[in-house]
Amino acid sequence: MKYQRVHLLLCHGTACVSAGSEKIDEAIKEELKKYSLEEEVRLVPTGCFGFCAMGPVMLVYPEGVMYCRVKPEDIEEIVCEHLLKGRIVERLLYKEPDGKERVAELSDIEFFRHQRREVLHNCGQINPEDIGEYIARDGYFALAEVLMKRSPQEVIDIITKSGLRGRGGGGFPTGRKWSYAKQATGEIKYVICNGDEGDPGAFMDRSVMEGDPHAILEGMSIAGYAIGSSQGYIYVRAEYPIAVERLEHAIGEARKTGLLGKDIFGSGFDFDIELRLGAGAFVCGEETALLHSLAGRRGEPRPRPPFPAVDGLFHRPTLINNVETLANVPRIILNGAEWFAGIGTEKSKGTKVFALAGKINNTGLIEVPMGTSLRTIIYDIGGGIPKGREFKAAQIGGPSGGCLPKEYLDTPLDYDSLIELGAMMGSGGLIVMDESDCMVDIARFFLEFTQDESCGKCTPCRVGTKRMLEILERITQGEGEEGDIDLLKSLAEDIKGSSLCGLGQTAPNPVLSTLRFFEDEYIAHIRDKRCPAGVCSSLLRFEIIPEKCTACTVCARVCPVDAISGTPRKPPFVIHQDICIKCGACQAKCPFGAIAKV
């Protein structure tokens, strides 16, 4: 192997690819060729660094310098200045939102300093399409250890002792799930990895599948050994093409090297994995629906019990774990149950990956110990709210979760504290909202989602969510009535109590949680016909402030429905409310700030 003095790590996660990593890749290859550096410099396409807001991101080792928002045009400068002359290209370094100083090294950046990357320790560090790089970072050592030294029961004991809980939403103890599957009688058993990450605004699992696919394969193999299964399936959303490609590649490589297949490590243990694609149905993340979809049928849930551990795929005992849960497994085996149990809070152990998005400066993928406060996540890691606006709420857990207002910024986040507050860990989507977001509208948005995704099998979910959505639509259109709030609450309780699966049982959560913390906003919509955040267009009026208007005619010209009239140079102009469609174009274009939203 040749000595390579520089490693260039370029992020190839979905967000960075979308922002143009592939073109940068080509540009680098071209420049390296031009300066005959191909032998000295190694280009490593990696998975997600997590710092999606700054993408495409490039890391230069050995220095560990990070360049942000790199464009193909920047490559020549990076090669000439940094690689040839050893001078850092200052203008591409990261700049903290508050300070003027640019920061070169990853570990000095606030975004990374407060994180603890365990599940993501390989994401952004290795080439996910090279099994050698995974092995070089202790990959498959955990599988070797359990096959050589541990009995299946010992493996389950380690996982139980570690306190690992399911990362897909419910937080069921993983060790207990494994022992149920082990105890189930049957010659053939299956291990399924649930990669149907459907929450809008959540992309944790996708990043792990894209950035560290072998960790999932290894976790599944260990689970297979523990419960006595020799066949695994990974169920992935078809909307994640890059994840599908990398997993396929990883399975191929693992088979070729004998880490999947017959007689792994000469231990007599057989295990193989196949990939199955979803076809765009949110409900398939529910485990019984997923089983139906895996078998090629409509993804409709069924009542439990029997639980999949007893009667699962093709009526065989089946263990279903989430991507992040499985990716934790090799680390626990290698570092020990005590190590894992030492991270986090009393009842929620380890770390949690969150997808940080919405009104926040540093959008991206982060990992923190369980029990970290929202304040740390939003202000220290996330860099606060853009445009100096004020934090209003954080939505956690997607369509099944709820909103946390600013009074709870210091609550330690774990499974139990979130349930107490009427939210839920969910898979870990965290959307930040500021003063310009209307909470009634957000509740309507989520209900629209669950109503659209309801599979229609059980009545409370199919009809109940529809009725709730209708009420919310009425309220946001200014036609809310006294009593609507009570009606919403009672419908919500009925749907929660009588729906067949998790989708319906949690569908009312976004409404209940916004009602709990922001009831005054509902009342403002219903009683005063006013949207305090200025979002619900039916409750808005645009008006011209006569003192500021100069009659420049700009507003009248941009208005798409000719709702503004007046005589040039004779202020003020007037907006005719009966014609106005409240598009806001006039306000956006007025050079004098003379149009107000009331």
Partner 1 sequence: MQEEKEKYRRLAALLEKYHGKAGELINVLHKAQLIFGYLPQKVQICVADALGVPISEVYGVVTFYSLFNTEPRGKYRISVCLGTACYVKGAGSIMEALKENLKVDEGGTTKDGLFTLESARCVGACGLAPVVTINGNVHGRMTADDIPELLERYRKEAKE
Residues engaged in binding partner 1 (CB under 8 A): 14-15, 17-19, 52-53, 55, 198-203, 206, 238-241, 276-282, 293, 295-300, 355, 357-359, 363-364, 395, 398, 429, 431, 433, 437, 442, 445-446, 449, 455, 583
Name 434's bridge partners. Answer: 391
**Residue 486: CB minimum distance to partner 1, A:** 27
**Residue 551: CB minimum distance to partner 1, A:** 24
Pick from 118, 117, 101: nearest CA to 109 = 101
**Residue 439: CB minimum distance to partner 1, A:** 11
Toward partner 1, which CB reaches closer, 203 or 225? 203
Q: Dihedral angle at the C-alpha atoms of 243, 245, 251, 255, nearest 10 degrees?
A: -160
**Residue 219: CB minimum distance to partner 1, A:** 21
Toward partner 1, which CB reaches closer, 144 or 277? 277
**Residue 281: CB minimum distance to partner 1, A:** 5
**Residue 398: CB minimum distance to partner 1, A:** 7
**Residue 14: CB minimum distance to partner 1, A:** 5
Looking up tokens 């109940």, which residue turns up?
464
Toward partner 1, which CB reaches closer, 200 or 342? 200
DSSP state of 40: T
Contacting residues for 48 by C-beta, under 8 A, at least 6 apart: 11, 13, 14, 15, 16, 120, 123, 124, 207, 210, 211, 365
Toward partner 1, which CB reaches closer, 258 or 456? 456
**Residue 161: CB minimum distance to partner 1, A:** 34
Tokens of 452: 């659209």
Contact (Cβ atoms closer than 8 angstroms) between residue 108 and residue 86: no
Contacting residues for 188 by C-beta, under 8 A, at least 6 apart: 229, 230, 231, 316
Pick from 86, 112, 108: nearest CA to 99 = 108
**Residue 53: CB minimum distance to partner 1, A:** 5
**Residue 334: CB minimum distance to partner 1, A:** 29
Toward partner 1, which CB reaches closer, 79 or 403? 403
Contact (Cβ atoms closer than 8 angstroms) between residue 438 and residue 535: yes
Toward partner 1, which CB reaches closer, 121 or 276? 276
Toward partner 1, which CB reaches closer, 218 or 437? 437
Q: DSSP for 234-280, please give it.
A: EEE-TT-HHHHHHHHHHHHHHHHTTSSEEEETTTTEEEEEEEEE--S
Question: How far is 137 from 164, CA to CA, in rounded Å?
Answer: 22
Q: How far is CA 295 from CA 11, 298, 402, in A?
A: 35, 9, 33
Element (H, E) at 215: helix 213-227
Contact (Cβ atoms closer than 8 angstroms) between residue 405 and residue 390: no
**Residue 295: CB minimum distance to partner 1, A:** 5
Contact (Cβ atoms closer than 8 angstroms) between residue 38 and residue 2: no
Toward partner 1, which CB reaches closer, 64 or 280? 280
Toward partner 1, which CB reaches closer, 240 or 573? 240
Toward partner 1, which CB reaches closer, 206 or 331? 206
Longest dimension (CA), the chain: 91
Contacting residues for 282 by C-beta, under 8 A, at least 6 apart: 198, 399, 449, 453, 503
DSSP state of 389: P
Toward partner 1, which CB reaches closer, 19 or 461? 19
Distance from the Cα of residue 254 to its chain's centroid: 27
